[in-house]
Amino acid sequence: MLKSDKFSPPARAFWNKIPSDIQERLLDNAWCSHCSGMTTITDYTGTIVKGDLILDGFCIRCGNAVTRLIEGNVP
Ligand SMILES: [Zn+2]
């Protein structure tokens, strides 16, 4: 690998099953409480919590911590 994987192995497997266009949409639809609006999440890590994928990262605009939950039952 070129850089260290910030996803846990189960989170990586979950993420890889999502089509790349959907991945992009998910990353572009994170809520930033500081901007009070939708933003793009960047520099994120991935973990699985109770079957859902949790992306922990930062708002691309202001750098505020942003979390994006992707439900495990969503195709
Ligand atoms: Zn922000």
What's the CA-to-centroid distance between 12 and ligand 1, angstroms?
25
For residue range 28-41, what is the model confidence (pLDDT) as tens digits?
Answer: 999 999 999 999 99
pLDDT at 74 over 90: no
Which pTM does this prediction carry? 0.86
Residue with tokens 């497997």: 13
Q: How far is the CA of 67 from the centre of ligand 1 (A)?
A: 11
Which residue has better confidence, 2 or 32?
A: 32
Residue 53 alpha carbon to ligand 1 centre in Å: 21
Q: Please report which confidence band the pLDDT of residue 1 belongs to, taking 50, 70 and 90 as the band edges.
A: very low
Contacts of residue 29, defined as CB under 8 A and 6 or more positions apart, other chains included, come to 38, 68
34: left (phi over 0), alpha (psi -120 to 50) or beta: alpha
Q: What average pLDDT does the segment 42-70 reach?
A: 96
